[in-house]
C-alpha cells in the first residue's frame, strides 16, 4: 500500500505506475481515492471545528447557570446536544470514508523501482546472469518422477488415494535427502549471520491482508473453516506478521531472519505436462530468508538475498541463473523482484526454484511496522527470498547429479547430513526395497 500523500500530491506518478504494470482498469481508483480523501478531510475538519465549539459552549453553561441565566444556559445545552448529534454523524462518516479509501488503496500497486524492465507478463522477464555451466550429459535424463521411483523414493499413487492430486510420499534415501537439504539450508543461512526461526504455521486474516494482495490470497491460501486462521503459503507471512503493530528501535536494525516451515498452497489454474509430479504441489517445506531494515538499506539487502540463493545452489553443483521480473509480472506489493532458476539438463532450459523480493514499505504500512527515528517514526522496509523449497528443488538436484548408471551423486556439502553417504543407488541395487 502506497502513501496517500503521493496520490494527493503526485497522482500522475501513481497513474503512470499503474500503466507500467498494464493494469489500466485500476486507473479509476486514483480519482476515487482523491474524491473520497477530500470528503474525509472535509468531514474531519468540520468535526474538529465542532468539537472546539462544543467544548467552548460547554464551559459557558456553568457560568450562565451561576449568573442566573437559566434560559440561556438551557439553550446552550440544547445547542451542545445538537452539536453532539452532528458530530456523531460526522465521525461515522469518517469511519465509512476511511474504510472506502483503504479498500481502494489496497488495490493500487506499489511504485516499482526505476530499474524494473517494462513488460506485460513473465514472458518478458529479463535474464541477468548465469552461474555455473549448464551441462547436458551424453546419456538420457528421465523425467524426475521416473528418477525418484527408480530410487524407490516416491509414491504418487498412494498419495492420490489419501489426499488427491498435488500430494506425494517421499521415502527412504530420497526422504532423508529432502530433510538433509533443509538442514543444510538452515545451517547455511545461520553461517551468514541470520537468526533461525520456526514460526506459526497458521495466521489471522489481518496478517494475510498485510503481507499479500487480495488476488494472491484467493489463489494461494487455505482457510480454516469456522476460524479466523489461514495455513501459511510461506513462512514469510508469519515472519513479517511477527512485527505487526511494533515500533522498532533504529539501533536494532536490520533484522536478518531465516525460517523453516511447511507451506500450503491451492495452486489454482491449469498447468502443463512439465509441471506434473513434484513441480506444483499443495504441500511442501521451505527455508526462507526475511529482512526488516531501514528504507535506505533495502537495495543492499536485496542484492545480498538473491546472492545467498545463488551461492546455496552452486554449493550443491547446480547451475542457476537470475531473471529480473518485469513490471507486469510483479505482484502489487513488490518494488523489485528476481527469480532464481535452476538448470534442467532434461528440458535443456532453466526453471524457477526461488524468488527474491523487495517490498519497500508496503507490508510495513499495512501492518503498522515503524522505526523510531530521531525526527519521528517512519515505516520499515521488508524483503524476502527463498533459500530452498523442496520438493521442487529436488527436480534440479536429481537431474544435475544423476549418473549414467542411475545412481545419484551426493555433493560434498550434503554428505555430513547423510552420515557420509556419497551416492543414492537405484532400488535394484538395494537390499531392502519398499
Q: What's the confidence (pLDDT) of residue 81?
A: 84
Q: Identify whether 205 is part of a domain.
A: yes
Cβ distance 391 to 278 under 8 Å?
A: yes
Same domain, 289 and 151: yes
Domain boundary among 105, 139, 172: 105
Residue 137 shares a structural domain with residue 91: no
Is the pLDDT at 431 greater than 70? The verdict is: no
**Is 113 part of a structural domain of the chain?**
no
Between CA 219 and CA 228 the distance in angstroms is 18
Q: Does 323 share its domain with 415?
A: yes
Q: How would residue 213 be classed by pLDDT, with cut points 50, 70 and 90? A: confident
**189/62 same-domain check:** no
Say which CATH number the domain at 141 has: 3.30.930.10
Inside any domain, residue 117? no
Q: 100 and 143 share a domain?
A: no
pLDDT in tens, 239-271: 999 999 999 999 999 999 999 999 999 976 545
Residue where one domain finishes, among candidates 80, 105, 130 = 105
Over its C-alpha atoms, the chain yields an Rg (Å, rounded) of 28
Give the per-residue pLDDT at 404. 96
Is residue 432 scored above 50 in pLDDT? no
* CATH classification at residue 60: 1.10.287.40
Same domain, 188 and 286: yes
Does residue 409 belong to any structural domain of this protein?
Answer: yes
Average pLDDT, the chain: 92
Residue 111 placed within a domain? no
In a domain, 434, yes or no: no
CA 33 to chain centre: 25
Q: Which of 73, 105, 137 is the last residue of a domain?
A: 105
Residue-level pLDDT at 216? 75
Rounded CA-CA distance 352/358 in Å is 18
Does residue 115 form part of some domain?
Answer: no
Question: Is there a contact between 147 and 400 (Cβ–Cβ < 8 Å)?
Answer: no
pLDDT tier at 219 (50, 70, 90 boundaries)? confident
pLDDT of residue 428: 63
Among the residue ranges 218-227, 301-310, 318-327, 379-388, the one predicted with the least confidence is 218-227
Is residue 433 predicted with pLDDT exceeding 90?
Answer: no
Residues 192 and 279 occupy one common structural domain: yes
Task: Please tell me the distance from the alpha carbon of residue 316 to that of residue 323, in angstroms, as a whole number.
Answer: 20
Least confident of 75-84, 140-149, 290-299, 424-433: 424-433
Residue 297 lies in a domain: yes
Q: What is the pLDDT averaged over residues 269-295?
A: 83
In this model, does residue 35 exceed pLDDT 80? yes
Q: What pLDDT is stored for residue 66 in this prediction?
A: 79
Q: Nearest-CA neighbor of 40 among 83, 110, 109, 99?
A: 99
Residues 243, 310, single domain; the answer is yes
CA angle 259, 319, 220 (to 5 degrees): 40
CA distance 211 to 237: 6
Same structural domain, 215 and 355? yes
CA 423 to chain centre: 36
**Residue 50 shares a structural domain with residue 139:** no
Q: Are residues 186 and 69 in the same domain?
A: no
423 contacts 409 by C-beta, under 8 angstroms: yes
- The whole domain housing 149 covers 122-429
Residues 98 and 144 reside in one and the same domain: no
Q: What is the bridge-based pairing of β-strands 349-358 and 381-388?
A: antiparallel
pLDDT attached to residue 78: 85
Burial bucket for residue 180 (CB in 10 Å: 0-12, 13-18, 19+): buried
Give the total number of structural domains in the chain: 2
Amino acid at each position: 500500500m502506497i502513501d496517500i500523500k503521493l496520490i494527493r500530491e503526485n497522482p500522475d506518478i501513481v497513474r503512470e505506475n499503474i500503466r507500467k504494470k498494464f493494469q489500466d482498469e485500476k486507473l479509476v481508483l486514483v480519482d476515487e481515492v482523491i474524491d473520497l480523501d477530500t470528503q474525509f478531510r472535509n468531514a474531519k475538519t468540520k468535526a474538529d471545528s465542532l468539537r472546539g465549539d462544543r467544548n467552548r459552549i460547554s464551559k459557558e453553561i456553568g457560568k450562565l447557570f451561576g449568573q442566573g441565566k437559566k434560559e440561556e444556559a438551557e439553550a446552550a445545552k440544547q445547542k451542545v446536544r445538537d452539536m453532539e448529534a452532528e458530530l456523531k454523524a460526522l465521525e461515522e462518516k469518517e469511519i465509512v470514508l476511511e474504510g472506502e479509501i483503504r479498500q481502494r488503496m489496497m488495490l493500487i500497486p506499489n511504485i516499482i523501482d526505476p530499474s524494473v524492465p517494462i513488460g506485460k507478463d513473465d514472458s518478458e522477464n529479463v535474464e541477468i546472469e548465469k552461474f555455473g555451466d549448464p551441462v547436458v550429459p551424453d546419456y538420457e535424463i528421465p523425467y524426475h518422477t521416473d528418477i525418484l521411483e527408480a530410487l524407490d523414493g516416491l509414491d504418487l499413487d498412494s498419495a492420490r488415494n489419501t489426499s488427491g492430486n498435488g500430494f506425494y510420499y517421499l521415502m527412504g534415501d530420497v526422504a532423508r535427502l529432502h530433510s538433509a537439504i533443509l538442514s543444510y539450508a538452515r545451517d547455511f543461512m545461520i553461517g551468514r549471520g541470520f537468526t533461525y526461526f520456526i514460526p506459526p504455521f497458521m495466521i489471522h486474516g489481518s496478517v494475510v491482508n498485510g503481507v499479500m494482495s487480495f488476488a494472491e490470497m484467493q489463489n494461494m491460501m487455505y482457510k480454516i473453516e469456522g476460524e479466523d486462521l489461514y495455513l501459511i503459503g510461506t513462512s514469510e507471512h508469519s515472519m513479517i506478521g511477527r512485527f505487526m503493530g511494533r515500533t522498532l528501535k533504529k539501533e536494532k536494525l536490520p533484522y536478518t531472519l531465516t525460517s523453516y516451515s511447511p507451506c500450503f498452497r491451492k495452486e489454482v489454474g491449469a498447468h502443463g505436462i512439465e509441471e506434473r509430479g513434484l513441480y506444483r504441489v499443495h504441500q511442501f517445506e521451505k527455508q526462507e530468508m526475511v529482512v526488516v531494515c531501514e528504507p535506505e538499506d533495502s537495495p543492499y539487502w536485496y542484492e545480498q538475498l538473491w546472492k545467498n540463493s545463488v551461492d546455496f545452489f552452486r554449493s550443491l553443483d547446480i547451475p542457476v541463473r537470475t531473471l529480473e521480473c518485469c513490471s507486469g509480472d510483479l505482484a502489487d506489493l513488490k518494488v523489485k523482484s528476481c527469480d532464481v532458476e535452476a538448470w534442467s539438463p532434461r528440458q535443456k532450459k532453466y526453471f524457477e526454484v526461488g524468488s527474491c523480493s523487495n517490498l519497500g514499505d508496503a507490508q510495513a504500512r499495512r501492518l503498522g511496522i515503524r522505526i523510531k527515528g530521531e525526527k519521528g517514526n517512519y515505516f520499515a522496509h521488508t524483503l524476502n527470498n527463498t533459500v530452498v523449497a523442496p520438493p521442487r528443488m529436488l527436480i534440479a538436484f536429481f537431474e544435475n547429479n544423476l549418473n549414467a548408471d542411475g545412481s545419484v551423486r551426493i555433493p560434498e556439502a550434503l554428505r555430513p547430513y547423510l552420515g557420509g553417504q556419497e551416492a543414492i543407488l537405484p532400488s535394484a541395487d538395494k537390499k531392502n526395497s519398499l
